[in-house]
Amino acid sequence: MVKILIATPDKDSLLEFSTGLQKSDVEITWVMKCEDVLLQIENNKFDLLFVDEMLSDMKGIECLNKVVFENPFLNTAAISNLSSKDFHEETEGLGVLMQIPVKPCSEDGQKLFDYLNNIIKMTNPDLNKRTNL
């Protein structure tokens, strides 16, 4: 089971994106605030945290800064309208897998899922035998 945590104050704006992440072996949990992200990662194991550009209580990148102190090995991705260079500079050292464009579509979700799936298979070689991931 792949567990994904999505943090956004506007779930409706990411529903199309989330269809690219939804597979038979994927569980998605939705939260609105960084405070809830921190509670979730303290009490549950996730394979990916995806943050919107702005959460209810702070910017998504600010939240990632807090998350890295709680769980530095959590795979993360974020929506950002920054240029690639500026995004890289803002997130350097945070281990962010991918920058997702504002108003992402299902193809963006599929691209992120494929990237995450490759990482999971590299770190867990036994999963290569499974066909539903």
Q: What is the pLDDT of residues 50-60, one digit of tens each?
A: 999 999 999 99
User: Does 17 map to a domain?
Assistant: yes
User: Does 131 map to a domain?
Assistant: no
Q: The domain spanning residue 115 has which CATH number? A: 3.40.50.2300
pLDDT tens-digit profile of 67-92? Answer: 999 999 999 999 999 999 999 999 99
User: Does 108 map to a domain?
Assistant: yes
User: Three-class SS of residue 59?
Assistant: strand
User: Does 128 map to a domain?
Assistant: no
Of 1-10, 12-21, 36-45, 117-126, the range with the lowest mean pLDDT is 117-126
Domain that holds residue 55: 2-119
User: Does 59 map to a domain?
Assistant: yes
Which residues are paired to 49 by β-bridges?
A: 5, 76
> How sure is the predictor about 123, in pLDDT bands with cuts at 50, 70 and 90?
confident
Give the chain's domain count: 1
User: Does 42 map to a domain?
Assistant: yes
> How sure is the predictor about 124, in pLDDT bands with cuts at 50, 70 and 90?
confident
